[in-house]
């Protein structure tokens, strides 16, 4: 390789700044800040490195520093939003640095003029974000210059100028870059850098929020990030009594628990085989008799949840109070507590054969492995319900279903995929397979259990976390990452929840819960 070619090649390296870099840093600062006070002294750089060496970052090319970013940690409450650059940096000494603070304060980012257009500033901003996350700090805050304002100062206020930059009507070499790197403007501050004549001494107070920030880290009991889901694709078979049914349930709960799952999901009407006991009755009378077993099954299911240390979403079962027949899914938590979700929308056949009626409430349930919602079968085909749950910060939507034909299954399946994408959550679905001859309205089954995710780079390329073989009795066990949902909602390619036009429309729940 020729010497000339070697000299033309870039060898970029990201590292912490050293005191020996001072001459390179001074060269850049004098060039860029000739109208704002020039460069720091070597003594100031020495103090900054002594205070917080991990926060001072450089990019070198073939041994020469060509870009740098400086920062410190502060207790932001001590300064508030009306501080000046000198106040928060201790006049460049960084003696305001406080490792017990909650905020990473960005003091400077600069790039050599010969290296403009190489997006080195973006690399430095990404490193700052990494530092903020690794130190579990609440946010990054910086005072941003608006040098382009000097061309518009006689015709508009700083606030108007900033709004036009946000809307890309005006380009500002500093603010446009910061907005593109996920910072938002908290307010306009005056006299931040009095020497900054281009900005007319105005500055933007910018903030980047660390979505992974945990205010109170505990040794135990923190919110889980990785959650393991176990789905039971249940085969309909005749059981002579509840003991036989629960023996089969326990087998699957034991199996799912053996893989250390956090949840076990059963299908809608998994207890339907007990209807065979009432074959001599009218369908509506038979299912009301089936409802007599629900309390016992729920009690025993709750015992299984505790003894096998797994949260059970107990499919659904009929509930009859002497006046209304409803379809209900029970959440049996592994701490022994219970909740339930009624099916809200009743299919024409369910109303005609059985006289089922819909419930009137919907909730998100807190568990030790995230916030969950439950929509029983037909309910998932109504997008308003998923959105209402998403607005309550649901992480995982469970959909126990029962479908007889493939086209019925495809309705549930397709809508479940849509709920995952539009609500930026995971959706787990499972149903029953096999058949129950001579059981009215429960004779055949079609199912393919699955777990779906949002569709973006952080998730599987087809938005399918796991999927079972169709119409086979089986289980699927898979992990879902709740932190990825947080990332998706704040930094995804598209952000369905964040970018809703709430100025135009909204979904309102009319019924009092």
The pLDDT-based confidence of 1 (bands split at 50, 70, 90) is very low
The pLDDT-based confidence of 135 (bands split at 50, 70, 90) is very high
**380 and 281 assigned to the same domain:** yes
Residue 316 lies in a domain: yes
- Which residues does the annotation mark as catalytic? 268, 343, 377
**139 and 240 assigned to the same domain:** no
Overall average pLDDT of the 401-420 stretch: 96
**413 and 329 assigned to the same domain:** yes
* Per-residue pLDDT tens digits for 114-134: 998 888 999 999 999 999 999
Overall average pLDDT of the 234-247 stretch: 91
**183 and 243 assigned to the same domain:** no
Give backbone dihedrals phi and psi of 244, rounded to 5 degrees, phi first: -65, -45
CA within 13 Å, CB half, 173: 13
Residue 7 lies in a domain: no
* Per-residue pLDDT tens digits for 159-202: 999 999 999 999 998 899 999 988 999 989 888 888 788 888 88
DSSP state letter for 480:
E
CA angle 237, 242, 243 (to 5 degrees): 95
Residue closest to 477 by CA, chosen among 219, 192, 277, 265: 265
What is the pTM for the complete model shown?
Answer: 0.78
**187 and 300 assigned to the same domain:** no
Could you give the number of structural domains in the chain?
2
* Per-residue pLDDT tens digits for 148-170: 999 999 999 999 999 999 999 99
Residue 4 lies in a domain: no
**232 and 364 assigned to the same domain:** yes
Residue 278 lies in a domain: yes
* Rounded-to-integer distance, Cα 232 and Cα 283, Å: 27
Look up the CATH number of the domain holding residue 255: 3.60.110.10
- Better-predicted residue by pLDDT, 37 or 165: 165
CA angle 45, 51, 57 (to 5 degrees): 60
**250 and 203 assigned to the same domain:** no
Overall average pLDDT of the 221-247 stretch: 89
Contacts of 51 (CB under 8 A, 6+ apart): 72, 93, 94, 95, 97
Q: What percent of the chain has pLDDT over 90?
A: 71
Q: Name the domain boundary from 209, 244, 277.
A: 209
Residue 216 lies in a domain: no
**247 and 348 assigned to the same domain:** yes
Burial code (b: 16+ CB inside 10 Å, e: under 16) for 204-239 equals bbbbbebeeeeeeeeeeeeebeebbbbbbbbbbeeb
pLDDT of 318 > 50? The answer is: yes
The radius of gyration of the chain's CA atoms, rounded to the nearest angstrom, is 30
- Better-predicted residue by pLDDT, 291 or 510: 291
**310 and 402 assigned to the same domain:** yes
Asked if 146 contacts 199 with a C-beta cutoff of 8 angstroms, the reply is: yes
Residue listed under structure tokens 């690794």: 134
The pLDDT score that the predictor gives to residue 7 is: 54
* Per-residue pLDDT tens digits for 364-392: 999 999 999 999 999 999 999 999 999 99
**287 and 427 assigned to the same domain:** yes
* Per-residue pLDDT tens digits for 77-90: 888 888 888 999 99
Contacts of 336-341 with C-beta under 8 Å, sequence gap 24+, read 336/302, 336/305, 336/306, 338/298, 338/302, 339/363, 339/365, 341/365, 341/373, 341/374, 341/375, 341/376
Residue 503 lies in a domain: no
Q: Name the domain boundary from 174, 209, 244.
A: 209
Containing domain of residue 133, as a range?
12-209
The pLDDT score that the predictor gives to residue 217 is: 60
State both tokens at 64: 């020469």
* Per-residue pLDDT tens digits for 259-316: 999 999 999 999 998 888 887 888 889 899 999 999 999 999 999 999 999 999 999 9
The pLDDT-based confidence of 222 (bands split at 50, 70, 90) is low
**170 and 297 assigned to the same domain:** no
Residue 231 lies in a domain: yes
| Listed range (33-37, 224-228, 484-488) with the worst mean pLDDT | 33-37
Residue 376 lies in a domain: yes
Look up the CATH number of the domain holding residue 140: 3.40.630.30
**17 and 165 assigned to the same domain:** yes
């Amino acid at each position: 390789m020729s010497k000339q070619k070697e000299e033309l090649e870039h060898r970029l390296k990201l590292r912490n700044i050293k005191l020996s870099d001072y001459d390179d840093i001074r060269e850049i600062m004098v060039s860029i800040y000739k109208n704002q006070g020039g460069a720091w002294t070597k003594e100031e750089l020495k103090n900054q490195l002594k205070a917080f060496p991990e926060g001072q970052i450089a990019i070198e090319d073939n041994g020469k520093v060509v870009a740098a970013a400086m920062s410190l940690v502060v207790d932001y409450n001590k300064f508030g939003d009306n501080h000046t650059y000198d106040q928060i940096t201790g006049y460049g000494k960084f003696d305001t640095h406080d490792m017990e603070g909650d905020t990473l304060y960005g003091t400077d980012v600069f790039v050599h003029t010969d290296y403009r257009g190489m997006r080195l500033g973006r690399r430095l901003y990404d490193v700052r974000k990494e530092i903020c996350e690794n130190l579990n700090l609440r946010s990054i805050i910086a005072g941003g210059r608006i040098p382009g304002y000097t061309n518009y100062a006689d015709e508009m206020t700083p606030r108007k100028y900033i709004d036009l930059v946000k809307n890309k009507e005006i380009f500002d070499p500093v603010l446009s870059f910061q907005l593109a790197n996920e910072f938002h403007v908290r307010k306009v501050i005056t006299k931040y850098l009095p020497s900054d004549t281009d900005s007319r001494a105005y500055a933007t107070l910018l903030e980047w929020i660390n979505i992974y920030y945990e205010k109170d880290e505990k040794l135990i009991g923190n919110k889980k990030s990785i959650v393991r889901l176990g789905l039971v694709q249940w085969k309909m078979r005749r059981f002579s009594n509840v003991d036989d049914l629960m023996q089969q349930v326990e087998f699957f709960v034991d199996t799912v628990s053996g893989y250390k799952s956090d949840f076990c999901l059963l299908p809608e009407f998994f207890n339907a085989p007990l209807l065979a006991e009432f074959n001599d009755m009218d369908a509506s009378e038979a299912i009301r008799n089936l409802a007599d077993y629900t309390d016992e099954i729920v009690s025993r299911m709750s015992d299984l949840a505790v003894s096998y240390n797994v949260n059970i979403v107990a499919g659904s079962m009929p509930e009859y109070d002497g006046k209304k027949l409803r379809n209900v899914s029970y959440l049996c938590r592994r701490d022994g507590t219970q909740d339930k979700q009624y099916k809200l929308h009743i299919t024409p056949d369910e109303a005609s054969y059985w006289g089922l009626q819909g419930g009137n409430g919907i909730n998100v349930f807190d568990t030790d492995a995230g916030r969950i919602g439950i929509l029983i079968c037909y309910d998932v085909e109504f997008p308003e319900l998923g959105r209402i749950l998403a607005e309550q910060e649901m992480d995982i939507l469970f959909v126990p279903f029962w479908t007889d034909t493939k086209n019925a299954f495809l309705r549930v399946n397709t809508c479940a995929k849509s709920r995952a994408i539009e609500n930026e959550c995971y959706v787990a679905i499972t149903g029953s397979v096999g058949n129950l001859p001579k059981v009215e309205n429960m004779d055949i089954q079609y199912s393919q259990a699955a777990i779906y995710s949002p569709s973006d780079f952080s998730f599987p390329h087809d938005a399918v976390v796991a999927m079972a073989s169709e119409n086979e009795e089986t289980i699927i066990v898979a992990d879902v990452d709740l932190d990825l949902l947080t990332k998706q909602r704040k930094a995804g390619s598209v952000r369905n929840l964040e970018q809703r036009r709430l100025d135009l429309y909204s979904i309102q729940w009319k019924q009092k819960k």
